[in-house]
Amino acid sequence: MPLSMLGNQASLEQIGKQNAMVSSEHYDVIIIGSGPGGGTMAWRLAQTGKRILLLERGDYLPRERENWDSQAVFTDARYQAMETWYNSEGKEFRPGLHYFVGGNSKVYGGVLLRLRERDFDEIKYPDGISPAWPVKYDTFEPYYQAAEELYHVHGLRGEDPTEPWSTKPYAYPPVSHEPRIQKLFDDLKRNGHHPFHLPVGILLDEYHGKALPHSPCIRCNAFDGYPCLTNGKADAQIICVDPALQTHQNLTLLTNSYVSKLQTGLSGKEISGVVVSQGAEQVTFTADIVVVACGALSSALLMLRSANADHPQGLANSSGLVGRNYMRHNNATILAISREPNPTKFQKTLGLNDFYFRSDDWHFPLGHIQMVGKSDGVQIHGEGLPDFLQWFPNMPFEWLARHSIDFWLTSEDLPLPQNRIFYREDQVYLDLTPTNMEGHKRLKQKLRELCSKLDVHPHLFERSLYLGKDVPIGGTAHQAGTMRFGTDPTQSVLDLNCKAHGIENLYVTDASFFPSIGAVNPTLTIIANALRVGDHIAKLISAQPKLSSKVASRGRVP
C-alpha cells in the first residue's frame, strides 16, 4: 500500500479494504498539506475532538547520515522536489520545494520573526506600493505570542528598535552567540548599530553556550537548509503533526496522498469531494470543511486545476487573482571574509534591522540582515570560486570557509498581478518580474560598509546554493501572495477568515493570503494565521455538531 498512516487505525483498514473511488469515511475537516500552515491547523483542530484528516503528498523525511551532508543536501539537492517548471521565456527550472511531512519547514532556518507593525500599513517604494493588510497587527499579536510559544522560539525582546509591541516576553531565552559572533555583535554596537538576538524556533537547552545532554538540538553546524538528524529543529512535523497524532485519535494522517483536484457540489458553492492519488489508486474523501495549505504556489495550482463548469477559471477565481501577486522576497546569501578565523558552529544568532525602513541616504525601506548557517568548503566548492580568487593555486575552499562570516539579506518585493503561477498545456509556468531591486542593492552596499568598519573583508560574494537550485526563479522558499485576503471579492480571493469568497467550506492557511510580505521571514506569520483561522474553524465545528451528516447527505460524489 503506497501510504503510511498514523492516528486512526480503523480508517486505514476501511480505506485499504475498499480500494475504490469514494472513501466511506466522512470527516469534519480535511487539511491538505502538513507544513507550518497545515500542520499547525491540524494541531489546533485535533484538540476539538472532531474527525480531522490530514493529507500530505510526501512521506516522512528519511533520517539518515545524508541529512547533515553538505554535498547531499546542497550540491545534489537530495531533498528538493523533482519538479520541472518553466519561466516566462520557457526555460526549465527546479523550484526550491520540499514535499515531506512538515513541508519546507523540515529544511528551514527556524528564524521566526513577527512582521513589523508598519508592515500592516501601506508602504511606498520607488517601484510602487506595498499594500496595506485588511486587518492590523493588533489582530495578529495574540496569535504571534501563541505561535512563538508553540514553536519554542528562543529570543530576547527590547534589542531591536523596529520590533513590534508584545504582551509577553519570549518563553525561551535567546540562543547564545559563539565568541566570533559575540565580537561582531559588540563591534556593531560600538559603531552605533542595534544588533539583536535572532528569534529561532529550536529545541535547545544550553548552558554557557553548550547543549545540555538531554537537549534534542546539539548546536551543530548543520542548521539552516539541512534537515535535523536529532529532531532538534522546531518544524511543523516535530512540533505539531507528531504530537497531535500521539495525543488525538481523532486525527488521521495519510502520507503519499497527492490531492489532484477539489470537486464542488450541485450548488457550486461548497467543496463536495477531495480527489486524492495514492500511487496508482484514486480515492475521493469528503468533509464539512476543507483547508488548503499546500504552500502558496502549490495551493494556487490546486485551485486552477480544479476548474469545472461552475468555476471555469479555477476554484475561488471569479476575481481572476488566483496565482497572481506572487511574492518571494529579494533574498541574497552573502559570504564575507574575516581576517581572523570564524570557528562558529551555530551561526544563526544575530540580526540587524537598522536599514529596515530607511537609511541615512535612502528614504525607502532597504530590508533585514541576519546571519545564515555557516558555510563549509563543500558548499563553497559547489558554488564555484568568485572571480577575484580564481588565481589561488590550491582552490582554498576550506580556508575560505574557516574565515567566512555568512549573512542573509532580505528586502521586500511587491505584489504585481503579472507575477503569477499558472498552467499552460499542463505544464507549470512561473512569471516573475523583480521589483525593488534598488533597495536590495543598497542593503548589500550597507553590509559592505559595515564589514569594512568591522575588520571583515569588504569584498563580499554571493552564495546561491542555499536558495536551492536554479536561483533566482527557483528561489521559492518565501513564496506568498497568490490568493490574497480582503473584504472585496473583486480584489481578493479570500475573506478576512481566509475562507474563499463564494465557496462556503473552503479555507486557505499558507502564505497565499499575504497582501504584502514585509522583509522578515514569513513562517511565524503563517503559523500565527493558522492559529487564528483555526480558532474560527474550531468555533464553527464545535457550534454545529450536526453539520457532518447534513453535508454528507448532500451527496459525496458530485
Ligand X SMILES: Cc1cc2nc3c(=O)[nH]c(=O)nc-3n(C[C@H](O)[C@H](O)[C@H](O)COP(=O)(O)OP(=O)(O)OC[C@H]3O[C@@H](n4cnc5c(N)ncnc54)[C@H](O)[C@@H]3O)c2cc1C
Binding flags for ligand X, 154-193, as an x/- string (CB under 6 A): ----------------------------------------
| Cell numbers that stand for 50 in this block | 472532531
Q: Shortest approach of ligand SF4 to residue 98 CB, angstroms?
A: 15
Query: With contact defined as beta carbons under 8 Å apart, do 520 and 361 qualify?
Result: no
Residue 348 or 499: the one with the smaller Cβ distance to ligand SF4 is 348
**C-alpha closest to that of 471 among 95, 71, 108, 103:** 95
Distance, CA of 26 to CA of 31 (rounded, Å): 13
**C-alpha closest to that of 253 among 30, 444, 479, 436:** 30
Binding span for ligand X by CB under 6 A among 109-117, 152-160, 457-465, 539-547: 109-117
Distance, CA of 212 to CA of 234 (rounded, Å): 17
Residue 109 or 474: the one with the smaller Cβ distance to ligand SF4 is 109
**C-alpha closest to that of 71 among 82, 63, 81, 79:** 79
Query: With contact defined as beta carbons under 8 Å apart, do 274 and 30 qualify?
Result: yes
10 burial (CB, 10 Å; 0-12 / 13-18 / 19+) is exposed
Residues with Cβ within 8 Å of residue 237, at least 6 apart in sequence: 34, 39, 60, 61, 100, 101, 102, 105, 106
Which ranges of 231-376 would DSSP assign to H, the alpha helix?
A: 236, 242-247, 296-305
Binding flags for ligand X, 447-486, as an x/- string (CB under 6 A): ------------------------------xx--------
Instruction: Return the residue of 293, 401, 528, 541 that touches ligand X, per CB under 6 A.
Output: 293
The H or E element that residue 552 is part of is helix 547-553
Q: How far is CA 116 from the centre of its chain?
A: 18
Instruction: Return the residue of 26, 28, 46, 96 that touches ligand X, per CB under 6 A.
Output: 96
Residue 218 or 302: the one with the smaller Cβ distance to ligand SF4 is 218
Q: Shortest approach of ligand X to residue 546 CB, angstroms?
A: 29
**Count of residues touching ligand X (by CB under 6 A):** 39
Q: Shortest approach of ligand SF4 to residue 217 CB, angstroms?
A: 3
Quick one: what does residue 220 bind among ligand X, ligand SF4, none, with the CB cut-off 5 to 8 Å set by partner type? ligand SF4
Quick one: what does residue 548 bind among ligand X, ligand SF4, none, with the CB cut-off 5 to 8 Å set by partner type? none
Q: How many CB atoms lie within 10 A of CB 399?
A: 16
Distance, CA of 163 to CA of 148 (rounded, Å): 14
Quick one: what does residue 217 bind among ligand SF4, ligand X, none, with the CB cut-off 5 to 8 Å set by partner type? ligand SF4
Quick one: what does residue 103 bind among ligand X, ligand SF4, none, with the CB cut-off 5 to 8 Å set by partner type? ligand X
Chain residues in the site for ligand SF4 (CB under 6 A): 202, 217-220, 222-223, 226, 228, 230, 232-233, 346
Distance, CA of 456 to CA of 334 (rounded, Å): 13
Q: Shortest approach of ligand X to residue 545 CB, angstroms?
A: 28
Name the β-bridge partners of 405: 336
Residue 384, classed as helix, strand or coil, is coil
Residue 56 or 431: the one with the smaller Cβ distance to ligand X is 56
**C-alpha closest to that of 380 among 360, 406, 416, 354:** 406
Span 34-93, contacts to ligand X by CB under 6 A: 34-38, 55-58
Q: Shortest approach of ligand X to residue 147 CB, angstroms?
A: 11
Q: Shortest approach of ligand SF4 to residue 269 CB, angstroms?
A: 45
Residue 232 or 486: the one with the smaller Cβ distance to ligand SF4 is 232
Residue 104 or 436: the one with the smaller Cβ distance to ligand X is 104
Angle at 366 between CA 364 and CA 370, to 5 degrees: 155
Largest CA distance in the chain: 75
Quick one: what does residue 346 bind among ligand X, ligand SF4, none, with the CB cut-off 5 to 8 Å set by partner type? ligand SF4
Binding span for ligand X by CB under 6 A among 66-74, 117-125, 383-391, 515-523: 515-523
| Interaction of residue 259 with ligand X, rule CB under 6 A | yes
Residue 228 or 259: the one with the smaller Cβ distance to ligand SF4 is 228
The site for ligand X (CB under 6 A) is made up of 32-38, 55-58, 96, 99-100, 103-105, 107-112, 225, 258-259, 293-295, 298, 302, 477-478, 510-511, 521-523, 526
